Amino acid sequence: MEDSKKETKTEPKKKTTVLVSQAGKIYVTATFNNTLITVTNNKGEAISWSSSGACGFKGTRRSTPYAASLAVSQATQKAIEKGLKTVEVYVKGPGAGRDSSLRAIKSSGLSISLIADVTPIPHNGPRAKKRRRV
């Protein structure tokens, strides 16, 4: 019985290197509780990412503009080391980290070619939940 079970060792997958040109995109998702930053190349493949929570902030301090600016500077620093120069910025969400993240991108040395707000706005979608009575 023991001989019939073969032990196969699986090798860990090798990380594929992402081709980085001088132009890329930065996606900032600013929620009420956190700020997420993803830096991608023009194809949309992630070069680097960061968030307020990944920078060590916990609880309500994650939603502060300072935490968002630290997360942006951490993500952009990794991208600059890989050769990124100009970016298009796409901001989504109502959070406090929206404006401070744009300032942090500008101060990191990247030149911004486009700023777009891609916050989803419902055009009277599904019926809303019944109103809360307190």
What's the rounded Cα separation, in Å, for the pair 48 and 104? Answer: 16
Residue 78 pLDDT? 92
The pLDDT tens digits of the residues spanning 54-93 come to 999 999 999 999 999 999 999 999 999 999 999 999 999 9
User: Tokens in use for 132?
Assistant: 């809360």
pTM: 0.81
**Tokens 């040395």 -> residue:** 109
The full set of domain ranges for the chain reads 23-117
Radius of gyration of the chain (CA): 20
> What is the pLDDT averaged over residues 22-32?
94
CATH topology of domain 23-117: Nucleotidyltransferase; domain 5 (3.30.420)
Q: Token pair for residue 55?
A: 């920078």
